[in-house]
Amino acid sequence: MGVRGTGPPEGWEAPKERWLSTVVRPAFGPRSLLLEVAARLLIPAILMLSVFLLVSGHDRPGGGFAGGLVASMAYVLRYIAGGRHELAAGLPMRPNGLLALGLLLACATAGLPLLFGKPVLDTAKLELVLPVFGEVKLLSALVFEVGVFLVVVGLVLSVVAALGARMEAEEAEARQEQEIDQARRERRRLRAEKEGHE
């Protein structure tokens, strides 16, 4: 181990070049360090709140819909901070895949009781005693709520991706027009210099 300060900084001492996963510039302008830091700090807390709302929804206010909306807002914050590449880096699958998986879970959970002669959306209960948590009651309604959660997240992110793609395309067109104008000005300047030397 060398003397402190003699080599390049490592570990905690190394400068943080970026706060989010991707290095691609977001479509809405230059990267904002403040927004990246806020997103990095807030997103895990927002996702934990969404899971709490999801799990506690059968006894208290919350559930899959409320939890899904809160989780969606975490991903919208991530999208605003880093663009579509950052959003893609933070999702396990495409938004349409989340939507399809959520619909499959919700429909399967709703219809499964029919196979056992029970009414649609009938709830099954499983009680377990776990070493750390004690007595835990699991309801099949939780699986339905997870399906609703995934549908909401998938739907909101599909809308955000669609709207964002349009905004990114408009931003790219504006950037391209700006580069073309700059190239024209440069050609005019060079032509004027050339005519001035002759």
Could you read off the pLDDT of 134-161 as tens digits, one per residue? Answer: 888 888 889 999 999 999 999 999 998 8
Task: Give residue 6's pLDDT.
Answer: 58
Q: pLDDT of 74-90, one tens digit each? A: 999 988 888 777 888 87
Task: Give residue 1's pLDDT.
Answer: 47
Q: What is the largest CA-CA distance in the chain?
A: 96
Q: Is the pLDDT of residue 97 over 90?
A: yes
More confident residue, 93 or 99: 99
Contact 156, 87 (CB under 8 A): no
* Mean pLDDT for all residues in the chain: 83
Over residues 157-167, mean pLDDT? 83
Q: pLDDT of 13-52, one tens digit each? A: 444 555 566 555 555 667 778 888 888 899 999 999 999 9
More confident residue, 103 or 5: 103
Q: How does residue 12 score in pLDDT terms, banded at 50, 70 and 90?
A: very low
Contact 129, 135 (CB under 8 A): yes
More confident residue, 146 or 11: 146
Distances in Å between the Cα of 94 and the Cα atoms of 13, 30, 54, 101, 178 are 36, 25, 21, 11, 33
Task: Give residue 71's pLDDT.
Answer: 96
d(CA 144, CA 180): 53
Backbone angles phi and psi of 30, in degrees to 5: -70, 155
Residue type, 39: A
Task: Give residue 53's pLDDT.
Answer: 94
Task: Give residue 88's pLDDT.
Answer: 80
Q: Is the pLDDT of residue 110 over 50?
A: yes
Q: Is the pLDDT of residue 165 over 90?
A: no
Q: Spell out the domain ranges in the chain.
A: 25-197
Task: Give residue 153's pLDDT.
Answer: 96
d(CA 124, CA 48): 26
